[in-house]
Amino acid sequence: MVNGPSILVERLVFAYPDGRQALFGVDFRIEKGERVALLGPNGAGKTTLVLHLNGILGSVAGGTGSGRIKVGGSDLHREHLTEIRRKVGLVFQDPDDQLFMPTVRDDVAFGPANLGLRGAELEQRVQEALVAVGMQDHASIAPHHLSFGQRRRVAVATVLAMRPEVLVLDEPSSNLDPASRRELADILAGLDVTLLMITHDLPYALQLCDRSLLMNGGRIVADGPTRELLGNAGLMAANRLELPYGFDPLSVPGPEHR
């Protein structure tokens, strides 16, 4: 059982090894089960922030930073990294960064097999994750024979197979055709996880996330109901966010009306 918030970030500061500072003191908390969109213009620091949530930047890419991150009740320290990576599932923007095995089944089995699962238990994990994304009939297919939208769903399944508490997605709707975009939204809406989703697709944020964090210049500049943020013309313009022409955020039912 988890006590306290799913994600707690306090005074997070980070500079890349070349000296470029990307985070200037980020603070927020996300409660268990919340669905939160992470918005902001190019270069705002969104990817840098989410890569911290499962320890990728701190441990692999070097750089210097400070602050505190707690995920599912555990402080993010080197000695907890395995546990944290099990709790926070990161779905990268390009599914081909996540799929490298000969079949869909093998890709989805890879993470749980690394955790030591075998036999029927492993197969159950794989099946459960594939069913969650509607790809159970494609288990024996090579990922490169799937469409881009199907590959993205399999990438989500590879992470779900770890049964993460927090699912972090980097631009999940990018490069999807309208039907694939809608299908993925239905899948994401049905998952029982805490969700943090980087997106430039503002209607997608509105559809899936009650709450949004808006980043700019390595800081959180707004945190509130997605509908309010998107309805604030001054805030939107100041942060280079634009809704599709004619789109009225007040006209779309949000996740609370599903």
Ligand X SMILES: Nc1ncnc2c1ncn2[C@@H]1O[C@H](COP(=O)(O)OP(=O)(O)OP(=O)(O)O)[C@@H](O)[C@H]1O
Question: Which chain residues interact with ligand X by CB under 6 A?
Answer: 16, 18, 20, 22, 40, 42-48
Q: Which is nearer to ligand X, 47 or 103 (CB)?
A: 47
Length of the chain: 258
In the complex, the smallest distance separating the C-beta of residue 210 from ligand X, rounded to whole angstroms, is 22
In degrees, rounded to 5, the angle at the alpha carbon of residue 129 between the alpha carbons of residues 167 and 213 is 15
In the complex, the smallest distance separating the C-beta of residue 178 from ligand X, rounded to whole angstroms, is 22
Q: Which is nearer to ligand X, 150 or 239 (CB)?
A: 239
Q: Which is nearer to ligand X, 47 or 180 (CB)?
A: 47
Neighbouring-strand partners of residue 10:
68
Find tokens 């996300």 and name the residue.
Answer: 30
Q: Which is nearer to ligand X, 46 or 153 (CB)?
A: 46
In the complex, the smallest distance separating the C-beta of residue 244 from ligand X, rounded to whole angstroms, is 18
Using alpha carbons, list the distances in angstroms from residue 207 to 96, 120, 194, 201, 224.
Answer: 26, 37, 16, 10, 15
Q: Which is nearer to ligand X, 32 or 219 (CB)?
A: 219
In the complex, the smallest distance separating the C-beta of residue 149 from ligand X, rounded to whole angstroms, is 21
In the complex, the smallest distance separating the C-beta of residue 142 from ligand X, rounded to whole angstroms, is 29
CA dist 193 and 160 (Å) reads 9
Q: Which is nearer to ligand X, 112 or 218 (CB)?
A: 218
Q: Which is nearer to ligand X, 53 or 117 (CB)?
A: 53
In the complex, the smallest distance separating the C-beta of residue 234 from ligand X, rounded to whole angstroms, is 21
Joined tokens for residue 39:
């918005």
In the complex, the smallest distance separating the C-beta of residue 27 from ligand X, rounded to whole angstroms, is 17
